[in-house]
Amino acid sequence: MRVLSGIQPTGRFHWGNYFGAIRQYIELQDAGDAYYFIADLHALTTVREPARLRGFVRDAAIDLVALGLDPERATLFVQSDVPEVAELTWLLMTVAPMGLLERCHAYKDKKARGLTADAGLFTYPVLMAADILAYDADVVPVGEDQVQHIEVCRDLAGTFNHLYGDEIFRLPKPRLVDGAAKVPGTDGQKMSKSYENTIELFEELPVQKKKIMRITTDSRSMEEPKDPQQDYLYQLFSLVGSHKEVVEMGELYRRGGFGYGDVKKAVVAAAKEAFAAARERRCELESNPSRIDEILAVGAERARSVAGNVLERAREACGLRGSSARGRKQ
């Protein structure tokens, strides 16, 4: 079974990125042949400064390896290092109905808000389909809000296969990621950079502590029993605390007689402990930049080998010249 997923480099990773996706990617390393890419081509729709984008890509690679993505057990690469995907995107665009793309959430949402949507955003789902199909992926771990992209991918692959041959593209299946949309931000909304409510994974500990200690809580008295499941501070603690600590904290909530300040301090301490090893690994990787370059280069080579074979199938199926003809001297 081949697992594939990508993550956009649009800033430093936060708890929502980790608990909503990255942790599951790491767990799936041993579930099959895992391919993970840093989606810099997708990021071009929002990140317009070249230096920032390059920095985001490098930070993403360092963070992923520091958090436990093992290049010996999974293939990690940068999306744009595999040019075959761009060509495959064009082949898929020739069978992509306009109506299908117009119904996609990202385009519809931006249009509904009166914002200008460029062609990159409009055709975004086709590039995403090419990302998946290029690697013969069987399973794509996604949150509920991403399932539509897999459905579009399957539609495009099915149409292409119907026109040119049933064995060209493998139809992937979505695998819903547990808790992908359930990480609250510091204001109780879903954690997101757009809401400015994130807790970054590797920000300076004093900065992280300040964010957590400033979280607004309700006005109930210390003595009043509380439902932990209805409190987003508890939900944050449940992400970073041990099972025993989370159970004990839940009992404190239900019993009453404690202050939210104590919970905030517990979140700070648990978060420091949970990511201590990853912070140490990140420092080591930052001091050895050639290691990340090597990991990404090896990953790109593996990815291009697979994507090249898939592209060759697709080219020949739809009547374009194969590699043997292209390599022949004229």
Residues 123, 93: contact at Cβ < 8 Å?
Answer: yes
Three-class secondary structure of residue 2 per DSSP = strand
Can 108 be counted among the known catalytic residues?
no
Q: Report how far residue 321's alpha carbon sits from residue 53's, in angstroms, rounded to the nearest whole number.
A: 35
H-assigned helices in the chain: 15-17, 23-27, 40-43, 50-67, 84-93, 98-102, 105-112, 119-122, 124-133, 147-164, 205-213, 232-240, 243-255, 260-274, 276-286, 289-317, 323-327
Dihedral angle computed from the Cα positions of residues 232, 233, 237 and 239, in that order, rounded to the nearest 10 degrees? 30
* Backbone angles phi and psi of 61, in degrees to 5: -65, -45
pLDDT of residue 145: 80
**Rounded percentage of the chain residues whose pLDDT exceeds 70:** 96
* pLDDT digits 0-9 by tens, 106-147: 888 877 777 677 899 899 999 999 999 999 999 999 888 889
Q: What is the mean pLDDT of the chain?
A: 93
Average pLDDT for residues 158-178, to the nearest whole number?
A: 93
Cα–Cα distance measured from residue 247 to residue 107, given in angstroms and rounded to the nearest whole number: 42
In order of start, what are the domains of the chain with their CATH numbers?
Answer: 2-182+289-327 (3.40.50.620), 203-274 (1.10.240.10)
Half-sphere CA count of 42, side-chain side, radius 13 A: 21
Collapsing DSSP to helix, strand or coil, 20 comes out as: helix
CA distances 295 to 70, 142, 285, Å, are: 10, 24, 11
Catalytic residue chosen out of the listed positions 111, 182, 193, 272:
193
* pLDDT for the residue 329: 44
Lowest mean pLDDT among 115-119, 166-170, 275-279, 324-328: 324-328
Active-site residue, 265 included:
no
* CA distances, 299 to each of 36, 112, 306 (Å): 9, 39, 11
- 142: which residues sit within 8 A by CB, 6+ positions away? 5, 149, 150, 174, 175, 176, 177, 180
Of 190, 211, 265, 272, catalytic: 190
Model's pTM, two decimal places?
A: 0.93
Given a contact cutoff of 8 angstroms between Cβ atoms, the answer to whether 139 and 173 are in contact is yes
Tens of pLDDT along 228-280?
999 999 999 999 999 999 999 999 999 998 889 999 999 999 999 999 999 99
